[in-house]
Amino acid sequence: MKKHNFSAGPCILPQEVFKKASEAVLDFNGSGLSILEISHRSAAFVDVMEEARALSLELLGLNDKGYKALFLQGGASMQFIMAAFNLMEKKAAYLDTGTWSAKAIKEAKLLGEVEVVASSKDKNYNYIPKDYSIPSDVDYFHCTSNNTIFGTSIQEFKETKVPVVCDMSSDIFSRQLDFSKFDLIYAGAQKNMGPAGATLVVVKEDILGKVSRNIPSMLDYKVHIGKDSMFNTPPVFAIYTSLLNLRWLKEKGGIEAIEKINKKKAELIYSEIDLNPLFKGFANKPDRSNMNATFNLVDDTLKERFDALLKEAGINGLNGHRSVGGYRASMYNALPKKSVGVLVEVMDELERKS
Amino acid sequence: MKKHNFSAGPCILPQEVFKKASEAVLDFNGSGLSILEISHRSAAFVDVMEEARALSLELLGLNDKGYKALFLQGGASMQFIMAAFNLMEKKAAYLDTGTWSAKAIKEAKLLGEVEVVASSKDKNYNYIPKDYSIPSDVDYFHCTSNNTIFGTSIQEFKETKVPVVCDMSSDIFSRQLDFSKFDLIYAGAQKNMGPAGATLVVVKEDILGKVSRNIPSMLDYKVHIGKDSMFNTPPVFAIYTSLLNLRWLKEKGGIEAIEKINKKKAELIYSEIDLNPLFKGFANKPDRSNMNATFNLVDDTLKERFDALLKEAGINGLNGHRSVGGYRASMYNALPKKSVGVLVEVMDELERKS
């Protein structure tokens, strides 16, 4: 039985992506060589890298707007310190909306002063603070667009004249935003983009080169830009698989088309959470994420029965993060609406039998 | 026709590894899920990570000797700065034997004083300097065991009481060494270990925690050790494929057994280089690498004919690095001796027809 995979990341990718990636491990484009054994300097892979970079910008609507796309390593966690290395001269403003924001703040403090403009830690990050302003005397403002663990997302981004840095790891390519309002976007691939092991960085070139420190080469965006994202051996397979996924998204109609489907999936699960008396949502309603729906059983004694029903239905990866508990349905681009339907059915069934 | 792949890295892996990795992309161990979509916190992947870490130490003979193995990201290039972040308090000694040594030196200089104890740059790195001593007043000594680009390798490592750091990217798991003489070993996976995208770090724990700086979390070996190499999402597929490769090596008899085959492959190509008047070797004979054999045509006008013969024989990846020119035969663990035989045949054929 094929599973319904609600994993928070690494997560489901389109079945056709799995199929093509699997084939490439045996024979990449009929070359007689595996994608794992070709040189990253080969014409075939340089084409992959260039198409992946260009397609990322195209899908985000950032062509010809002064941005460069890079495929790096180390995930968002490496970007926490890398962003600060490249942009922090003296002081930066951070919005604290969850575990990952807090980690970004911790790393940035190693290199300068951090002003936390607002935090929702007081309520275990179940909402997005709105009552704050972004100081004008900071080197940049940092936020997290979607909080995977808590199931919240920023619906409206405040206007500011300082550079805006955004960790979009768990919602990039899932919803339409005016991406040109951001100066640095980064995202671990393992949600809406590809397998773990690649990190997309989209940076507006004119914000770089303004700090006085010496930046280690591997942490310097300008070094990576100067080498077309090939300063050293890139994670070839993770980038190729990301490209397959980006092509799939383009064929589907891009972000505009996928956002409509994502909204339908989110409406399906949230209306069940709100109407089924056995469940309660975790996140503040206006801040709910369309990617990660967090919810709990009202009566924890039903857990065993619910978990058994989930297993029976082939539902995988629904456990909530340990800092929230309960359940989390991650519904990234590649998760079929049908899988959400199966989950809602199981929730209904629990109600009928209780 | 299956190619004979002499690529310098990413490079050939065993055919059975390609087959198993390809299958896992469709269905990982009969789980109904792709290896690309499972959670890195799942029991199945935690097992993969633990086996890969344990098997790395076992193959190197470093069990129960105070070492930890980590699978990180960023390749050796990230280790250049990471090693310095963790170990450089004031001054370190470096041996300069090639492009990668020089890059390691450049990064270390950002964090302290670097004493280059010897360099072979005067002869375009075609030999390994031997006439030097390691100062006793440095935080560590850094060397590169095998120089992929130039085809040299260190045959004898000098004794010292300071911690020894070694970049073994291109010869780890290929030859027997007393690995307990090293305190920090690192290697990009994409030669003898697996696909690009994972980096093995083997570190003796008691050398850590001695510098006074604050180390960014992602660059701190102690942080990664404390989280069992799962501080953040690891490159799942690259680690799984590395594990398949490490298992293959163990089944083959480990480093002792593979070293014998590697020696035979190296003898085969080097005797052809030395006996065939059309070719000349690049590296100093006593310093020749068993992994990368570098050589040139004596008469460059034969290049077109030789290249045509190589292509006809299905030989891939034999071009030398641009800083050396000519040819480079990379003969990592998974390259069959038969492939070296085919190459030698082509070199013979060129001689016969010239």
pLDDT in tens, B62-97: 999 999 999 999 999 999 999 999 999 999 999 999
Instruction: Kindly list the domain boundaries of chain A, sorted by start residue.
Output: 15-251, 255-352
Which chain A residue has its CA at the smallest distance from B9's CA? A39
Question: What pLDDT score was predicted for residue A2?
Answer: 76
- Which has the closest alpha carbon to A103: B119, B30, B338, B231? B231
Gap between the Cα atoms of A87 and A97, Å rounded: 21
Whether residue A98 is predicted with pLDDT greater than 70 in this model: the reply is: yes
Whether residue A225 is predicted with pLDDT greater than 90 in this model: the reply is: yes
Over residues B246-270, mean pLDDT: 98
The 3-state secondary structure of B87-154 reads HCCCEEEEEECCHHHHHHHHHHCCCCEEEEEEECHHHCCCCCCCCCCCCCCCCCEEEECEECCCCEEC
Token pair 């808590």 in the structure block, residue: A150
Q: Is A220 on the interface with B (CB under 8 A)?
A: no
Q: Is A308 on the interface with B (CB under 8 A)?
A: no
Q: Quick check: B39 and A197 CB within 8 A?
A: no
CATH topology of domain A255-352: Aspartate Aminotransferase, domain 1 (3.90.1150)
Q: Out of B13, B110, B197, whose CB is closest to A238?
A: B197
A 252-291 residues with CB below 8 A of B? none
Which chain A residue has its CA at the smallest distance from B219's CA? A78
> Percentage of chain B surpassing pLDDT 70?
100
Token pair 């590809």 in the structure block, residue: A194
Whether residue A100 is predicted with pLDDT greater than 70 in this model: the reply is: yes
Annotated catalytic, A248? no
Gap between the Cα atoms of A124 and A99, Å rounded: 10
pLDDT digits (tens, 9 = 90+) for B276-289: 999 999 999 999 99
Model confidence at A327, in pLDDT bands (50, 70, 90)? very high
- Among candidate residues B96, B167, B183, B220, the one labeled active-site is B167
Gap between the Cα atoms of B272 and B349, Å rounded: 12
pLDDT digits (tens, 9 = 90+) for A117-145: 999 999 999 999 999 999 999 999 999 99
Question: What pLDDT score was predicted for residue B354?
Answer: 83
Q: Is B54 on the interface with A (CB under 8 A)?
A: no
Q: Quick check: B77 and A231 CB within 8 A?
A: yes
B 113-142 residues with CB below 8 A of A? none
Question: What pLDDT score was predicted for residue A1?
Answer: 64
State both tokens at B44. Answer: 């199945």
Backbone torsions φ then ψ of A295, nearest 5 degrees: -155, 160
Q: Quick check: A190 and B18 CB within 8 A?
A: no
What ipTM goes with this model?
0.98
CATH classification number, B15-252, choose in 3.40.640.10, 3.20.20.70, 3.40.190.10, 3.40.50.1970: 3.40.640.10
- Among candidate residues B68, B100, B139, B204, the one labeled active-site is B100
- Among candidate residues B96, B183, B191, B220, the one labeled active-site is B191
Cβ neighbours of residue A227 closer than 8 Å, sequence gap 6 or more = none
Q: Quick check: A74 and B219 CB within 8 A?
A: no
Cβ neighbours of residue B178 closer than 8 Å, sequence gap 6 or more = none
Whether residue B2 is predicted with pLDDT greater than 90 in this model: the reply is: no
Q: Chain B partners of A217 at a C-beta cutoff of 8 Å? A: 77, 80-81, 103, 106-107
Question: What pLDDT score was predicted for residue B1?
Answer: 64
Question: What pLDDT score was predicted for residue B309?
Answer: 97
Q: Quick check: B196 and A38 CB within 8 A?
A: no
| CATH classification code of A15-251 | 3.40.640.10
Annotated catalytic, B263? no
Cα dihedral sign for B276, B277, B282, B283?
positive
Average per-residue pLDDT for chain A: 97
Gap between the Cα atoms of A290 and A287, Å rounded: 10
Q: Is A323 on the interface with B (CB under 8 A)?
A: no
Q: Out of B23, B39, B77, whose CB is closest to A10?
A: B39
- In DSSP notation, B283-335 reads S-GGGB-SSEEEEEESSGGGHHHHHHHHHHTTEES-BPPTTT-SEEEE--TTS
Average per-residue pLDDT for chain B: 97
Q: In Å, how far is B237's CA from the nearest CA of chain A? A: 8
Over residues A213-235, mean pLDDT: 98
Q: Out of A40, A194, A196, whose CB is closest to B234?
A: A196
Q: Chain B partners of A108 at a C-beta cutoff of 8 Å? A: none
- Quote the distance between the C-alpha of residue A30 and its chain's center: 32
Residue B216: CB atoms within 10 Å: 23
pLDDT digits (tens, 9 = 90+) for B46-62: 999 999 999 999 999 99
Q: Is B75 on the interface with A (CB under 8 A)?
A: yes
Mutate one of A3, A38, A70, A73 to test the B interface: name it (highest B CB count within 10 A).
A73
Gap between the Cα atoms of A104 and A80, Å rounded: 5
pLDDT digits (tens, 9 = 90+) for A15-69: 999 999 999 999 999 999 999 999 999 999 999 999 999 999 999 999 999 999 9
Which chain B residue has its CA at the smallest distance from A42's CA? B317
Task: Please tell me whether residue B84 adopts helix, strand or coil conformation.
Answer: helix
Print burial letters for A240-259: b (CB count within 10 Å at least 16), e (below 16).
Answer: bbbbbbbbbbeeeebbeebb
Gap between the Cα atoms of A112 and A184, Å rounded: 18
Q: Is B76 on the interface with A (CB under 8 A)?
A: yes
Annotated catalytic, B121? no
Gap between the Cα atoms of A36 and A40, Å rounded: 10
Q: Where are the beta strands (DSSP E) in chain A?
A: 4-5, 67-72, 91-96, 113-119, 141-144, 146-147, 152-153, 164-167, 184-188, 199-204, 279-281, 292-297, 315-316, 327-330
- Quote the distance between the C-alpha of residue A102 and its chain's center: 16
Q: Is the peptide bond between B10 and the residue preceding it cis, with omega within 30 degrees of 0?
A: yes
The CA distances from residue B345 to B246, B265, B348, in Å, are 31, 13, 5
- For chains A and B, CB pairs below 8 A equal 186
Question: What pLDDT score was predicted for residue A229?
Answer: 98
Mutate one of B34, B149, B220 to test the A interface: name it (highest A CB count within 10 A).
B34
| CATH classification code of B255-353 | 3.90.1150.10
Which chain A residue has its CA at the smallest distance from B217's CA? A107
Q: Chain A partners of B189 at a C-beta cutoff of 8 Å? A: none
pLDDT digits (tens, 9 = 90+) for B195-249: 999 999 999 999 999 999 999 999 999 999 999 999 999 999 999 999 999 999 9
Whether residue A74 is predicted with pLDDT greater than 70 in this model: the reply is: yes
Beta-bridged to residue B116, according to DSSP, are: B94
Q: Out of A40, A80, A81, whose CB is closest to B10?
A: A40
> Percentage of chain B surpassing pLDDT 90?
99
Gap between the Cα atoms of A84 and A142, Å rounded: 10
Q: Is B109 on the interface with A (CB under 8 A)?
A: no
- Which has the closest alpha carbon to A126: A105, A101, A147? A147
Model confidence at A97, in pLDDT bands (50, 70, 90)? very high
Q: Chain A partners of B196 at a C-beta cutoff of 8 Å? A: 36, 40, 233-237
Q: Quick check: A197 and B235 CB within 8 A?
A: yes
Which chain A residue has its CA at the smallest distance from B103's CA? A217
Mutate one of A224, A232, A244 to test the B interface: name it (highest B CB count within 10 A).
A232
Q: Is B241 on the interface with A (CB under 8 A)?
A: yes
pLDDT digits (tens, 9 = 90+) for B137-153: 999 999 999 999 999 99
